[in-house]
Structure 1
Amino acid sequence: MPLKRIFPYLALCIWITAHAAPQIPAERLQTLASDPYWIALGHYETGKLGGWRSYVDDPDFFLAGDGPSNPEAELRATLEAIYAPAGQGDKHPQCTYPARTRWLREQLQLSDLPQPACSEFKTWYADVNPHSTVLVFPAAYLNSPSSMFGHTLLRIDQPDIHENNTVMLSYALNFGAFIEGADNSILYAWKGLMGGYPGLFALVPYRDKLKEYSRLENRDLWEYRLNLTPEETGRMVEHVWELKQIRFDYYFFDENCSYRLLELLEIARPGIELTDQFPVTAIPTDTVRAVKKAGLVESIDYRPSREKELLARAEPLDDAEQQWVLQLADDEKLLDDPTFLALPAPRRALVQDAAFRLVRYRSTGEDRTSEIANRSFKLLQGINRNPPPELEVERPGLPEEGHQSRTWQLGAGIREDRAFAEYGLRMAYHDLNDNLSGFPLGAQIEILQLKLRQYEGNHWQLQRLDFATIRSLTPRGELLKPLSWQVAGGLERVLGEDGDERLVSHLNGGVGGSWNLGEDALGFALATARIEHNEDFAPFVATAAGFNTGLLWHNALGTTSLEAAGDYFHNGEIRRRLSLNQQWEVSRDLGLRLTAQREFSQRAAPVNEVMLELKWYHY
């Protein structure tokens, strides 16, 4: 065979020999495969029956067939793949897995790797230009099932964030459920609980997320600047590229937005152990607390929502001035009304600014019309002619400084002439009387609460099992008039025909209003409806209409509530209840509660019950 025909084959052999994956001793590969950083890159956890399993539920993420359960096989496949010919361009494994490639190059001192251009990744990385990281916590928003516990995301800042105030050019790194179609709230909650949605990472402009959370949903934002170095931030962003369009199962309570971001922080700073603290649930406030406890937080900034800013501006206005706010928000021509111009200039300045903020608040999420644009412009002209003082919004307590989410309960009491002990566990999260620091007055979210009661004579019974109890008691005012509402479902004891208690299943809800009765007190009144399965009733389910009204007061000791509730069933049964609760806030994570109630039913004599309960908030 002529030499010129043999030469190409020789060249190919030489190239393959020079660029083949090196032969690494098996012991060294095993050591690397068990390294915490490689485990983090593959999102592996120890399986319940031993071995490994990856949280990643997308086969496209893995190079080895058994990669989801075999970190060593995935490492071997990766090492072989990154030595593929450079001609694959952006499809080259080095371009697809830059974080894996960098780590293997450093660990094994690989100096002979092919050099693909990876232009797509390099352009993307240069556009993100990662330098520092901020953990962003949009506060809880009860009217959205996915946001009842708050949310967390990461903001990736560029080097000139402070010098040139380029925060709006930053990127938001978010993990969330990917929803196709328009599922209703009940279906959304069910799928979210059962892992019915895939979860995806997304890197989007921060200004878009800021608009979504603080304006569209009127949520306060807490920004925790982390002390990650530029190298650590860049390492995390490299891994985000590896996860683009890679699907995870999404669960509201554990494998959620907060948990996934903790995994990324473990990649940024190897050695910190954040996810190990959340074997059952990962509630956003708890994960923020874990990040802070790990020493990652450098500083904290607070961004109030549009609603909070509006209420703060209107707070010093009297009733007549607030009426002017409403009128100007509806008709900007009243700016020239002689009666309005007769107000002192400082008061007009406050009214105009409040009216402008109200117009913006009302138009949130709606298409901008010429009428709204003209009204806003006229109000801004008035503000420029007569500017108000700088708005100061009082910063609330830090959300992570509130009590822990899981609660153990131990109570002792008497029901009529029967003494009992009560043992309880609540998986999450807060009720109206719980220690208030870090939580808004009038908000309640309880998930999976179990209470067992032991009467004298060692008689045990299931007292209640609450699947969910949610209450939103937001006060109404002159400018904003939100509805208050509640919903609950589960098993509970009610008075029976023979004076005994019946365990019944129920679903109930209500809607109404709440009003401020002072700085730390509110009253509420709701119309309610109830569906109940009760063996004492003839039909399979019984329906009732009713009411729930009461007072809530946060005082020097803790929180006091006084409630009256009634259910009027279609079959003639009437139930009513009066209750008084006083919580003493012993410490952040310890509370003592006195409960007294009187129950009325047509099927039994009135029953009195008093209980003293110790609550330990413990994750």
Structure 2
Amino acid sequence: MRLKSAPYGFRGLLSGLMVRGLLWFALIGCGAVQAAVPALDSAKRSQLSQHEFWLLLNRYERDAWGRWRSHVVDESFFLSKEGLQDPQAELVATLKALYAPVRLADQHAQCVYPARARWLREQLQLTDLPKVDCPAFQQWFAEINPHHVVLVFPAAYLNSPSSIFGHTLLRVDPPEAADRGTSLLSYALNFGAAIDDADNSMLYAWKGVMGGYPGQFAILPYHEKIAEYNRLENRDLWEYSLDITPDEAVRMLEHVWELQRFDFDYYFFDENCSYRVLELLEVARPGLRLTQDFHLTAIPTDTVKAVQEAGLVTQVRYRASRERELLVREAELTEQERTWAKQLAEGERTLEDTEFQRQPTARRALIQDAAYRLLRYRATGKDRDTQTARRSYALLRGIQDNPPNPLEVTQPEVPELGHQSRSVTGTLGQRESRTFAEYGLRMAYHDLNDRLTGFPLGAQIEIAKLAVRQYEGGHWQFQNLELAGIRSMTPRTDLLKPWSWQVRGGLERVLDQHEQEVLVSHVSGGGGVTQAWTDQLRTFGLVTARLEHNRNFGAFLAPALGFNTGLLWHNTLGGFVLEGSGDYFHNGTVRRQFQATQQWDWDKNLGIRFSLRRDFTQGFEPVTEAGLALRWYFY
């Protein structure tokens, strides 16, 4: 969920206050205009104000006490002083404003709220509305010229906190886009949080989850979004052409015009980019029920599935990231050719090098193409410098004179084929001589053993993972609560050298000095490297650090250094993980753990998982635990 700042809040406040002030001034001062407003009896007012489309246009929902409240937090969005919490008052005020004098021009309600005006005109057969010229809206609308709509899903990007689940936005195409076969003239419709650039990652995460940022709509040229996601962040893009008619696209854009100057509630897990995209599609086609299942979370892949299940998707197109294209080209080279490509990109060799020129023409074409891609990849996000520009130009000239064979990138499986984002687990296990049953719930989203379809190997994102355990004899025990656990085991290659990393935090059970399990709070993380031996087999090694609050330790917080190493293997049954870890505390306590886990993917949303673990605490006998779990994925 990519979060993008947009400078609309203050401008929206001034604009909204100006609109509302001018409209009320005109209505109060012109009795003749007031007389033209149709009278509605209480039953009709109630019917229209409770209509699901009117509630959607103004983002009304009932709160925990049954009261109406809009997700639009800018009160200047509403024409009524009670509009934030009263759909009927806002409807009456809007109807009056539609009959305001035409001299208000761009500030007239018909210009500011074209979607509201269209709906009320249709519902009440308003044939006597004043004819208002709206140059600002008409110019904006003509520039976008909506005809076709595409749902765009930039895949998850673990190195950006705002994008760990992916993101969704809409692309709006003009009629000529299909004829020309290009989206260069299209616009991207995006919703995101207006973030403070001074906030650090921890503060950003906290405010994003707790609603500390306002959310805003923005519309900008699509090629800029392509550069941001596909190039700058090296994220694969999926484009889903939607069965949205031109008239429906027009209705949606009219509504966007109403919203783009105002602030919304923004919450990272539910009222986010993906949720707002679904609302826009519901406006485009009244009667869709896309948001009804997203009460707690709205994870982008789940919202894409909802759009698919609604039958809106007509075609899927894949855009590979710059990183993926470079890896595909690198795979075509020998080890020596990769060395040449790296040296050409770094300026250690030139295209005129005698040894390089001895290579067959076709191989030189591949090498210099890989060098150019590597150079551009490394330059992403950096200031332009003369030497890089000179090498880039020379390589581009070489490619023009000796073009390589076309790059063929195999399309991965579409993200919506993956398992559902939540899961419940039931486990029968044995810890030494004690039998137990364990019950677990995970709100999101994927771990290293889960079914791999639709997910990259080596990526893990777990949020709000809870487990309780019942030992024989009826003894219940709170086992763990992991608030967040993220792992990125990306392999290094000859040309790309990414770091692998992990971070996690929450509550968990550990062995204390008396061989009893004690509940501790902790935060831990680490970094290292991953090596790929085949497409399905990787090994990794990380250096880790841990900070723990343990009631049996003398200090309030105890630091530790450690390691985490292991193997990932995607086999015919499912995912297998073998790993060992250790923590060496400043106070002398040493803990080590070895664990093997194999999942059998019984179905897309059903897995059977066997795990074997052995815990070591310095000075005590090792403890062995085995379990067989049934895991069901759902939303």
> For the superposition of Structure 1 and Structure 2, which TM-score range results when normalised by the shorter chain?
over 0.9
1:227-246 aligned within 5 A = 227-246=243-262
SS of 1:69's equivalent? coil
SS in 1 for 2:53: helix
CA distance in structure 2 between the partners assigned to 1:406 and 1:225 by the alignment: 27
Pairing 1:288–2:300 present: no
State which drifts further: 556-565 or 113-122.
Answer: 113-122
Alignment of 1:301-380 (within 5 A): 301-331=317-347, 334-380=350-396
1:197 aligns with 2:213: yes
State the alpha-carbon separation in 2 of the partners of residues 415 and 492 from structure 1: 16
Matched pairs, number = 608
Give the C-alpha shift of residue 166 in structure 1: 4.1
Q: Does 1:466 align with 2:482?
A: yes
The residue number in structure 1 matching 2:23 is none
Match of 2:115 among 79, 86, 99: 99
CA contact (8 A) 1:582 1:594 kept: yes
How far apart are the structure 2 equivalents of 1:475 and 1:151? 24
Deviation at 1:218, TM superposition (A): 0.4
Within 5 Å, give how 1:577-596 maps onto structure 2: 577-596=593-612
Letter of the 2:355 partner, please give it. Answer: T
1:122-521 alignment, distance < 5 Å: 122-331=138-347, 334-521=350-537
Alignment deviations for residues 105-140 of structure 1 (CA, whole Å, 9 cap, x no partner)? 111111111122111111100011111100000000
The residue aligned with 1:554 is 570
SS in 2 for 1:160: helix
**Whole-angstrom CA distance in 2 between matches of 1:18 and 1:436:** 64
Q: Secondary structure in 1 aligned to 2:596?
A: strand
CA distance in 1, matches of 2:533, 2:479: 34
Deviations 1:269-310 (A, max 9, x none): 000001111010000000010011111111000000000000
Asked if structure 2 preserves the Cα contact closer than 8 Å seen for 1:158 and 1:166, the reply is no
Partner of 2:24: none
Q: Which amino acid aligns with 1:225?
A: S
Rounded Cα–Cα distance in structure 1 between residues aligned with 2:34 and 2:295: 46
Equivalent-residue separation in structure 1 for 2:305 and 2:417 (angstroms):
8
- For each residue in 1:450-500, what CA deviation from the matched residue of structure 2 results, as whole angstroms up to 9, or x when unmatched? 000000110001110001000011100100000000001000000111111
Secondary structure of 1:189's counterpart equals helix
Q: Is the 8 A contact 2:34 2:99 kept in 1?
A: no
Deviation at 1:359, TM superposition (A): 0.8
Q: Give the drift of 1:25.
A: 2.8
**Matched residue type, 1:171:** Y
Do residues 67 (structure 1) and 74 (structure 2) align? no
- Report the counterpart of residue 16 of structure 1 in structure 2: 32
When structure 1 is superposed on structure 2, of 105-114 and 170-179 the one drifting more is: 105-114
Distance 1:332 1:209 in 2: 34
When residues 146 and 13 of structure 1 are mapped into structure 2, their CA distance, relative to the original with a 3 A threshold, is: closer
Q: Distance in 2 between matches of 1:13 and 1:289?
A: 52
Contact 2:443–2:465 (8 Å) recurs in 1: yes
CA deviations on 1:310-341 (whole Å, 9 max, x unpaired) are: 00111121111100110111128521111111
Is the 8 Å Cα contact of residues 464 and 484 (structure 2) preserved in structure 1?
yes
TM-score normalised by structure 2 residue count? 0.94
| CA deviation after TM superposition for structure 1 residue 563, in Å | 0.2
User: Is the 2:33–2:100 Cα contact (8 Å) retained in structure 1?
Assistant: no
Q: Comparing 281-290 with 113-122, which one deviates more in the overlay?
A: 113-122
SS at match of 1:23: coil
User: SS of the residue aligned with 1:282?
Assistant: coil
Gaps of 5+ in 1: 1-11
Partner of 1:247, secondary structure, is coil
Partner of 2:22: none
Contact 2:567 2:579 in 1 (8 A): yes
Note if 1:601 corresponds to 2:617: yes
1:524-543 CA distance string (max 9 Å, x none): 00000001111221111111
Q: CA deviation at 1:49?
A: 2.2
Shift of 1:196: 0.3
Q: Which amino acid aligns with 2:46?
A: Q
The alpha-carbon distance between structure 1 residues 41 and 17, as it changes in their structure 2 partners (threshold 3 A), is closer
Q: 1:533 aligns with which of 533, 549, 552?
A: 549
Could you tell me which amino acid in structure 2 is paired with residue 535 of structure 1?
A: R
Distance 1:346 1:44 in 2: 62
Structure 2: gaps spanning 5 or more residues: 1-27
Residues 1:568 and 2:584 are matched in the alignment: yes
What code does the residue aligned with 1:261 have? V
**Residue type of the alignment partner of 1:568:** Y
Moved over 3 A (4+): 12-15
Secondary structure, aligned partner of 1:219? coil
